[in-house]
Amino acid sequence: MVHRSHFDAQRGLSAEACAAYARDGVLVLEDFVPQAQCLALQQRARQLVAEHAPRAPGTVFSTTDQRHAQDAYFAASARGIGAFFEAGAFDAQGQLCVPLERAINKLGHALHDLDPVFHAFSHGPRLQAVAEALGLVAPQLVQSMYIFKQPGIGGEVNCHQDATYLYTAPQSVVGFWFAIEDAHRGNGCLGGLPGAHRHGLKEVFRRQSDGALRLESLQAAMPWDMDSLEWLEVRQGTLIIFNGLFPHLSEPNHSAQSRHAYTLHAVSGQATYPASNWIQPSGVPFTGF
Ligand code: FE2
């Protein structure tokens, strides 16, 4: 079972919690975020959707022009703020079939640097203390996402490792996953494979010599033992921290309840951050906590 603990500002993380994180590649800290703060982030996310969704490339159907517009929008969101639709928000004709505020899958990927509300939430001594206790040296924040997992249409996320998308040498990325609402089996909570981070990285998403971003297999034959899958049902305000090599997934949300989460990814400032990663600190430099 994944270890569940609490963060104490005076004493920091317990030795037991740190050992569990090293063993499992994941740690659950309950009651990390007060309810009022969760509600403030929800409210701000709604405002950002109203601001950004009308300009987001609209449809999941791929004429070449739409594909290019979507690729350019995705690239600009690396150090900007973009809104991305749920695939299930469109009908067979490519028309939105849910209200705009229920149609967005996520906001990303530099909320933590560019939006004042998310900036304030993402920086500070508490997160810095947690990151350092878990062995992250000179943390640099490289990515943030607000994930809506909309009722009825929230899409499935296949089993993956976050280090695939944020590669460093040596591997250093740590994910901070904040439950902004209760997350359970019914609304598509996280699931993961405790201990499987020790088997290394399966694939990497990086810019190739032709300039295109593609997934590249590093260990094609590496199996993930899905029998060891553990569901991480958590209450609002819980922080789940995981190693960039921790394989994780979530199921579709067919329930009438959304499952909002905010994620933040940090890497070590002492690791090599390659120019082939899709997110580059050009224009807007990376910041620490
Ligand atoms: Fe992930």
Residues lining ion ligand 1 (Cβ < 5 A) are 162
Q: Give the per-residue pLDDT at 63.
A: 61
- Say how many Å lie between the CA of residue 159 and the centre of ligand 1: 8
* Ligand 1 centroid to residue 10 C-alpha, Å: 30
- What does the pLDDT look like over 34-64, one tens digit per residue? 999 999 999 999 999 999 998 888 755 556 6
**Residue 103 C-alpha to ligand 1 middle, in angstroms?**
20
Express each pLDDT in 148-172 by its tens digit. Answer: 999 999 999 999 999 999 999 999 9
What is the 17 CA–ligand 1 centroid distance (Å)?
21
Give the distance (Å) from ligand 1 centre to CA of residue 6: 23
Contact (Cβ atoms closer than 8 angstroms) between residue 164 and residue 200: no
Q: Kindly give the distance from the C-alpha atom of residue 199 to the centroid of ligand 1, in angstroms, as a whole number.
A: 17
Q: Compute the distance from residue 93 Cα to the ligand 1 centre, in Å.
A: 30
CA of 190 to the centre of ligand 1 (A): 9
At residue 222, the pLDDT reads: 81
The predicted model scores a pTM of: 0.96
Grouped pLDDT means (10 residues each) for the chain, 289 residues: 94 95 98 98 97 81 71 92 91 87 94 98 97 96 97 93 97 98 98 97 95 91 91 98 98 96 98 97 92
